[in-house]
Copies of this chain bind each other. A is one copy, B any other.
Amino acid sequence: MLQVRMTGLCRPNRAKISGIFGRGDMKLYLDSGRAPNPRRVRIFLAEKGVTLPTEAVDLGGQAHKTAAYRAINPMQRLPALVLDDGTVIAESIAICRYIEALHREPPLFGEGALEQALVEMWQRRVEFHLLTVVSHVFRHLHPAMAPLEVPQVAAWGEANKPRVLAFLEFLDGELAGRPYVAGPRFTVADITAVVAVDFMKPAKIAVPEDLAALRRWHAEVSARPSVAKER
């Protein structure tokens, strides 16, 4: 059963999304565990108060590499959102943008040209210079990832460790001057950032004690119901 609150949608959007109230085949494919990208979408949906029908795909059992799932997403990645008419939206941030277009409040990608550009900038900075970098450490150094990351290149995993810490120091300096990653309010950039910082634990990288602003931000964001629930 699809539940999308319609508050705040103007008529053109209402018309565009009428299809999703059709046969009810819309489905969000997520993992069965704690992979970072599905978690980003889970937190985003919780912030929006939107519930979608979901199906779990077992990453550990490599269910994302089966023919059945490759027919949904040839890139063999999670999450993926299948609409009523069979159209597939893959890529976490593309799914989040689609949800934002259907359900604008609260605006997690910002409002107006300038704020939206700054949120995009910070979302990308955090994604490329933190989440991706932590992922390289995890995927190339964790023994459990050997069957999934072929070949594991340990030297590449090691090369990324100091980059994680360098970016955290930079982010700490930024967070000393404002409450959230992209500015005065919580946005999708905070979602990517908190998922990345939490992903440091399985990647076996500690958050330095002296990054006070980063720790203040992390504690506040982690206390949000969306982030606390979607672990």
Contact = CB atoms under 8 A, between A and B. Distances in A.
Contact of A117 (B95, B118, B151): B95
A1 interface: no
A117 B129 contact: no
Interface string A96-107: 011001100000
* Nearest 5 CB-CB pairings of A with B: A101-B113, A98-B117, A94-B121, A94-B120, A156-B156
Contacts of A101: 112-113, 116-117
A89 interface: yes
Contacts of A93: 120, 124
A185 to B, nearest CB: 17
Given A89-B118, A151-B155, A159-B153, A113 B125 contact: no
Count copies of this chain in the complex.
Answer: 2
A206 interface: no
Given A120-B93, A121-B89, A98 B75 contact: no
A91 interface: yes
A17 B101 CA distance: 23
A104 to B, nearest CB: 11
A113 B102 contact: yes
A68 interface: no
Contacts of A124: 91, 93-94
A132 to B, nearest CB: 9
